[in-house]
Amino acid sequence: MTKQDQRPMRLNPPAGLLINRSKPVHFAFEGKHYQGLEGDSIASALLANGRWLLSRSFKYHRPRGPLTMAGQDANTLVQVVGEPNVLADREPLTAGLQVRGQNYNGSLDHDKDAVFDRFGRFMPVGFYYRAFFKPTGAWHRWENIIRKKAGLGQADLNFVPQYHDKSYLFYDVVVVGSGPAGLSAALQVADLGGKVLLVEQQPLLGGALSYHRFDLEGSTADQLRLELVRRVTEHEAIDVLLNATCNGWFKDNYLPVIQGNRLYKIRAKECIVASGAFEQHVVFRNNDLPGIVLCSAVSRMMKHYALKPGQRAVVLTGNDEGYMTALDLDDNGIAVAAVIDMRPEPESAALIESLTLRNIPVKSGYVVFNALPGRGKKHVRAVDVRKIIGRGKVADNAEIIDCDLLTMTAGYLPCYQLLCQAGAQLTYDDLAAEFSLTKLPEHVHSAGSVNGIHSLESVLADGKRAAICALGNLQLTTELPGKVHCTRRPNYEWPIFEHPDGKDFVDFDEDLQVQDIVNATRLGYRDIQLVKRFSTVGMGPSQGRHSALPTARLVASVTNRTVSETGVTTARPPFVPEKLAYLAGRNFDPYRRTPMHYRHLQLGARMIPAGNWQRPGFYGLPADRDRCIQDESRQVRTKVGLIDIGTLGGIEVRGPDAAELLNRMYTLAFEKQPVGKTRYAVMTNEQGVVIDDGVCCRISAEHFYVTATTSGVVRVYRDMMKWNAQWRLDVDISNVTSAFTGVNLAGPDARRVLKKIIDDVGLNAASFPYLAYREGRVAGIPARLLRVGFVGELGYEIHVPALYGEALWDAIMEAGSEFAIKPFGVETQRLLRLEKGHFIISQDTDSMSHPGELSLEWAINRKKPFFVGRRSLDVVMARKQTRKLVGFSLPNDRSKPEEGHLVLEGNKISGHVTSCEYSSTIGSIIGMAFVGIRQCTPDTRVPIRVKNGEVVNATVVKLPFFDPENKRQEL
Amino acid sequence: MPFALLKFGINKNFPFERHADLQAPKALGSSYDVVIIGGGGHGVAAAYYLAKYHGITNVAVLEKGYLGGGNTGRNTAVIRSNYLTPEGVHFYTESVKLFTQLANEFDFNIMYSQRGQLTLAYTDAAVRAFRQRVEVNKHFGGHTELIGPTEIAELIPCLNMHPGQLSVQAGLWHKDGATARHDAVAWGYAKGATQRGVELHQLTEATDFIIKNGKVSGVITNRGTVHCGCVVQAVAGFSSLLAAKAGFRMPIVSYPLQAMVTLPVKPFLGPMVSSPAHHCYVQQTGRGEIVIGGGSDPYPLYSTRSTLDLKESLLASTLEIFPFMANFRLMRQWAGITDMTPDYSPVMGLSPVENYYLDAGWGTWGFKATPICGKTMAQLVASGGKVPELIAPFSMDRFEVFRQVNEMGATAASH
C-alpha cells in the first residue's frame, strides 16, 4: 500500500484547530500546484495532498518526511523563493507560495545522489579524515567535488532584505510555553498581581492540551484548554505573544523573542520556562522512512490540521502515551494494526482493556526491528516486528505487519536549551532513564514536563509551584512553594536496536547510525564532545534534539560510564535557527553628518568617511581631485578658505579639579595656563604611545574646553571617565562633540572676513593674539573662538552650538564673498598641514609611536609628578631610539611614493611613508615617513620602494616645509 | 572513490580499535621529562615535535577538559600570514608552510584548503594601512596584494560594494589565506604524538606547582602529583591564571571572543572575507555553513557565555557586506577566551621560573600558528632553554624593555 493510492482527505471537525476550511490557499511544490487551507503549514498542506516526501537527507540523500510536525527536525527543510532552509512544518502557508525541495540531484522524487545510500559502508564515520589527501595538495581537488555535495538549500544571491525591526518589553514574569504548566503558572502569577507575558511558539495556546490525549475518553484536554485559555485571555495582567519563539536565554533574563518580522528584547524580573519536552524516537533500521513519525506529530496532524495521516497504523511505544495515540487514531477512523509495546509488562490494565474493546492487538515486549519501504523507498509499507530478548537484542523470527503509518515514542527529553543556557545542569536519573535539570540560577524557574513531570494534575501543580517561587522573589506572596511529585516514568531505557545492515538512525540530520557513534568511540573519541566533533552528531539543524539522548546512552555504554558522566554537549543559543535579518533589525548604521552637510553637497563636495562621520574631501569631481586640492590650497595660502570642522571632538571639563585632571591625562601642565589661552594637548596611553592630541582652552579657572581628534574623542572621553572613576577628582566631564559644531576660517584675509560679522571681540593681533581664546557673537551666534594654526595661516576656529551650524556657514560665506572666499575639504587640509609639518594621529603615528619618535619632547612636562604614560615614557625615552618621523621631499618628476610604501636601509625595512602629496606651494613632492634613526638627519638620502618595486631616493627635510618661522599664522 | 575507503566497505567488521587515532585513558605516571599543560593544538603540537624531532617521548600532556576543547575547537580556522611586522610575517609564513604538509605527515586529513582571504578597505586610512602590509609581505616574498574595486567585484560577485554610506576602496588579497578543520589539527598532532609514546591525559587539571628556588620540578593535578624536568604552559585564555599559580604575572588580559554559524547552504563563497570597518569576517565552510566572527567582547571575562548584543551587531555588519544573507538562518553561537597582549603578538619562550616555558598570549590568532609554535617550543624545550631565533622577538620581557611586536592593525577582526 502506498500513500499515493489514497484519496487525500481531512478529518471532520472538531479536528483541525488551526485550519480554516472555508479559505483554500493555492501554492506550488516542486513546480506542481496544490491546494491547502488557511492555517496550514507548508508541511500540513502537502500531507493533506498525500505528499510525504519533503526533503533529502544530508549525506545519503534518503527520502525524508515530517517527523515532529513542530519544527524540531531537519526533515522538513525546504526552499521558498529567496529563502533556503525553511522549516515546512513551522512556516505558514501563504497564497501563491513557490516551494521547492533542496539538496537533491535531478528531482526530489528521483534524486541521482540517492546512490550514496548504497555506498554507506565505504563512508564510515569520519571517512573524510582517512582519505582524499594523498599526494600533498590532493584535498584541493577532492574538496571541490565534495563541497558541491555539502550544504542544504540554495542561496539566492540577489535576495533583497525585507523590513525587520526590534522592540523592547519589560515584565515581572515571562512564561515561556503555554502548555498546561505555562497556563497554570501565568494565571497564578497574574492572580497575585504580577504582570505576565506568555510566549507561545504555536499559533494557539494550550501546548499539549491542544493535541495530546490525557484520558481514555479523550475529553479532559479540550475542556481544560478552553477553560484555561479563556481565563488567560480575559486576564488583564497577562499579555500573550502567539507564533512567537523565545530563542535564547541571556544573562539577567534578557530574552529575545521572535514574532512576525520583529525581535522583541525582553527583560523579565522572573522567568518561568515551561518549554515542555521533546518526544524521543526509537532507533531501528529504516526509522527515517516517510510515514514514520513521533506520536506527538501524528496527534498534531490530526488535532491541529485534521489530517488523516494514513489508513493502517502501527504504534511503537515504550510508555502509556502510545496507547493514547492508538485511541486517537482509532477514533479518527485509522485502523490500528497493532500497538507494539517495548515494555515486557504494560503498566495499565485499563489501557489494555480499552484497546481490546476496540480490537486493537497489543504486543508487549516487542519492537519494530526494521521498517520495510514501499516501491521507490518513499514510504513505509510494513514493519518487521520481533520479540525483545535483551537490551537492544531481538529474536530471529519476525512478524511482518502491513501499515502505511508508524508512530513511535520512546519517552521524552526535557526541552532543556533555555535552562541550560541559563546555567542549569542536566543530570541523568538511571532509574527513570531520564535527564533532569538541576542548579537553576536565581530568578529562573522551570515547570511541567521540562521538569520530568508528566501527569496532567502534577503538571498543573508544578506550574503553580513555579509561579509561587517567582512571586516570592517579587515579594507578591509569602506562600512557600510546595513539592510536586510525579511517578509517571514514560522513558523506555534502551530504545536502541542496532541492525546488522545499519540505517538505524541516531541522528537524522547528519545521517548517523548506531555504528557511527560506536565506531567514533572505538577510534578513540570517547568524550561526548569529541564524539560530536568527530562524527558531527548533533551538529545539524536540530542541534541534537533527537540524537542527544541515544548518543549519550550509546557512548556511556561503550565507554563503561554512566549516562550522567557522559552528559550531552553544550546548549548554545539560538533555540531554533533564526534568520539573520531578525538580529540585524533595521541595520541601523549611525553615520553622522555635520549641520553643514547639505551645504557641502550643494557646493559639489566629494564626501569621504572620517570615523563614522561624513566629511567633504574636496569640492569638485573625483576625476579632478589633484587640481581641486591644489586650487583649494592656493586659495587658503593667498586669500581665505573655510572648512567644516564640526566633526572635531569636544570635551568640557569643569570643577575645582579640572586642571588637575588635564594634568594627569595630558603630557603638558595646565595649572598655570591663563584664562583666555589655548594650549596644545598630547595624550599618551600607559605604554607611552601617543594616542590623541587637541587644543585645550581655559574658559575660566575651573572650566576647560578640550578638543580631540574626530575618531579619537570617544576613547578620550571614555579614558577620562575610566581614570577618574579611580582618581575621584572633583570634576564634571562631558562629551560635547555633537552639541557643538565649528568651522576654521583661514587665510590672509580671514581677519577681514570675520570683522564684518563680529563686533564684540577685538580682532587685531594685540587684542586677540595667536593661541588666544575668546567668546563672542559671530553673526549674532554665540561662539567660542580659538586662534590656532593647523594649516599655518592666520585663522580662527569658530565653535558654535550645533543648531547654528548652517547659519554660521552661510554668514561667513556671505561675508567672505567680497574676498572670494572658498570652502576647502579635508584632503586639502591634509596637504596644508603637511606643508606645515603637523602630523595627524593614526595617519602619521601608529600604536607604537612615542613622543620621542614624533619630536614631541617639547610637549612633555617632566616636572609634574604624574601623567598617564609617564612611567613608560621615562623608560622608552631613555632608550636608544630606532626610528623617527621626518619630512622628506622629492622632485616632482619622480614616481610619487604612496602612503604605506616602505623606507629601506640596505635590504632591511627601516620605516614607511605616512603622508605624501604634491605641493604646488613648495613645488615638489613632500611627505612624512618613519625612517631609521641613522637616516633622520636633514639632507640624508633615503630609498623608498614605490609601486612595482621601483626605488626612489627622497631627501630628508627639516620640518616644516612651509613658513619655517611661523610668521603667517601669528599675523 | 579513493582506495583508502575500500577497506571499510570490504571488511564488514573493520577493526577500528587497531586504527584508533587516540588511545584509551591510562593511569597518570608519577614522573615525566616534560609536562605540557594544555591539550589544545599548541600543546599536542609541541609534544608531537618533541617526540618526532628530538626523541623526547617521556612527555605528558595534561588537559583539564577534552582534547582540543578550548580555543582549538572554538576558533574560526583561518590560516594566514599577511601580518605587518617582519617578525610576524616570518613566523606565520613558516606556519603556513608546515600546515600544507600536515595531512600527509599525520596520515590524517586536516582538510587544509587554500581559499584566499580578502580584507576590505572602505577608507583611505585603511588603504594606507593595507598598502604597508602588502609591501612588508612582498618584501619577505609573501603572496599579498592590494586590489581595486573592479577586481574585488570579479573575485566575489555577491559582495555589496556600497554598504551604507561606504564604498569599497580596495582589498588586501592574501592568496595564501587558507582554512583547515581545526579539530583535526589537534587530533592529528595527538595521534602522531601518542603513537610515538607521548601520553595524553584528558580530564586532568593542573592545580598547583612544586617550585623550589625559582625552579619548577612538579605539577600538582586533580589526579595526583607529577614530577617533571620541565613544564610547558599552553593554556590560551587561562594563561594568566595558570601563571599566577606558578607565581608570576603576565601582561595579558583575557576577553571572550564570540563566533556563530548558519545552517548550511550550497557553496557560493570561496575566499574568506573580512571587513575590519564592520568588525566582521565571513567564510563558508566545507559543510556549507557560513561562519561569522568579529572582535572580542569589550570587557575582560573568563566566561564563554554568549551575548545577544554581540550577535546583533555582528549580524547587522554581516548583512551590510552580504545583504542577501538576511534569510540565512543562524544555527549556533559560541565563545572562546582570548588571552590578549598589549601588542597583539604572542608570548613565547622563557618565564621567570626556571624550566617553565611559556606559550601564551595567543589572543585571537593562535590556531594559525599551531604548527610553527609547536615546532619552536619543542626546540626550546629540547635545547634546555635556548630560545630559537624565530621566537626570540616574542619573549615576555619585551614589554619591560618596550620592544613590542605590534600587530594590532593586522589582527583586529581579520581572522
- CATH architecture of the domain covering B111-178+254-340: 2-Layer Sandwich (3.30)
Q: Does B415 score more than 60 pLDDT?
A: no
Predicted structure pTM score: 0.93
**H helices present in A703-793, as ranges:** 713-727, 750-755
Q: pLDDT tens across A102-160, in order?
A: 999 999 999 999 988 888 888 888 889 988 888 888 888 888 888 888 888 999 999 99
Best residue of B261, B311, B398 to probe chain A, by most A CBs closer than 10 Å: B311
Q: Does A2 score more than 50 pLDDT?
A: no
Superfamily of domain A165-278+414-473: FAD/NAD(P)-binding domain (3.50.50.60)
Question: What is the distance between the alpha carbons of residues B15 and B28, in angstroms, rounded to a whole number?
Answer: 27
Q: Does A588 score more than 80 pLDDT?
A: no
Superfamily of domain B30-75+182-252+343-411: FAD/NAD(P)-binding domain (3.50.50.60)
Best residue of A105, A129, A559, A873 to probe chain B, by most B CBs closer than 10 Å: A129
Annotate A498-520 with b (16+ C-beta within 10 A) or e (fewer).
bbeeebbbbbbbbbbbbbbbbbb
- How confident is the prediction for chain A on average, in pLDDT? 95
Q: Which residue from B158, B165, B316 is facing A609, i.e. has the nearest CB? A: B165
Q: pLDDT tens across A261-277, in order?
A: 999 999 999 999 999 99
Q: Does A199 score more than 60 pLDDT?
A: yes
Read off the pLDDT of each residue in B235-243 and give the average, rounded to a whole number.
96
Which cell is B73 given? 575547537
How many Cα atoms within 13 Å fall on the side-chain side of residue A794? 19
The answer to whether A121 contacts B9, with C-beta atoms less than 8 Å apart, is yes
Domain with CATH 3.30.9.10 in chain B: 111-178+254-340
Is B25 in CB contact (< 8 Å) with chain A? yes
Instruction: Please name the residue that has the C-alpha cell 563614522.
Output: A612
Q: pLDDT tens across B167-214, in order?
A: 999 999 999 999 999 999 999 999 999 999 999 999 999 999 999 999
- The pLDDT value recorded for residue A370 is 98
Read off the pLDDT of each residue in B332-342 and give the average, rounded to a whole number.
94
Q: Per the omega criterion (within 30 degrees of 0), is the bond before A574 cis?
A: yes
* CB atoms near residue A712 (< 10 Å): 19
Angle, in degrees to the nearest 10, between helices B370-382 and B86-106? 90
The answer to whether B66 contacts A843, with C-beta atoms less than 8 Å apart, is no
Q: Does A7 score more than 70 pLDDT?
A: no
Q: Does B149 score more than 50 pLDDT?
A: yes
ipTM score for this prediction = 0.95
Topology annotation, domain A880-957: Elongation Factor Tu (Ef-tu); domain 3 (2.40.30)
Question: What is the distance between the alpha carbons of residues A516 and A551, in angstroms, rounded to a whole number?
Answer: 10
Q: Does A433 score more than 70 pLDDT?
A: yes
Q: Does A709 score more than 50 pLDDT?
A: yes
Read off the pLDDT of each residue in A763-768 and give the average, rounded to a whole number.
94
Is the CATH number 3.30.70.120 carried by domain A10-149? no
Closest CA to B171 of B192, B153, B186, B190: B153
The answer to whether B4 contacts A900, with C-beta atoms less than 8 Å apart, is no
Question: What is the distance between the alpha carbons of residues A563 and A553, in angstroms, rounded to a whole number?
Answer: 6
Looking at A376-380, A399-403, A643-647, which range is the least confident one? Answer: A376-380
Read off the pLDDT of each residue in A764-786 and give the average, rounded to a whole number.
96
- The pLDDT value recorded for residue A4 is 44
Is B165 in CB contact (< 8 Å) with chain A? yes
Best residue of A533, A845, A898 to probe chain B, by most B CBs closer than 10 Å: A533
Class of domain A644-831: alpha beta
Which cell is A760 given? 564684540
Q: Per the omega criterion (within 30 degrees of 0), is the bond before A577 cis?
A: no
- The pLDDT value recorded for residue A9 is 79
- The pLDDT value recorded for residue A363 is 96
- The pLDDT value recorded for residue A119 is 84
Reported as a pLDDT band with limits 50, 70 and 90, residue A1 is very low
- The pLDDT value recorded for residue B407 is 84
The answer to whether A687 contacts B342, with C-beta atoms less than 8 Å apart, is yes
- The pLDDT value recorded for residue B411 is 67
- B359, B377 in Cβ contact below 8 A? yes
- The pLDDT value recorded for residue A8 is 54
As a whole number of Å, the end-to-end CA separation of chain B is 33
Domain with CATH 3.50.50.60 in chain B: 30-75+182-252+343-411
- The pLDDT value recorded for residue B412 is 54
The domain ranges of chain A are: 10-149, 165-278+414-473, 644-831, 880-957
A886 vs A482, higher pLDDT: A886
Q: Does A614 score more than 60 pLDDT?
A: yes
Which cell is A285 given? 533500521
Q: pLDDT tens across A10-51, in order?
A: 999 989 999 999 999 999 999 999 999 999 999 999 999 999
From chain B, pick out residues whose CB is under 8 angstroms from the CB of A846. Answer: 406, 409
Q: Which residue from B202, B266, B308 is facing A256, i.e. has the nearest CB? A: B308
Q: Give the three-class secondary structure for A60.
A: coil
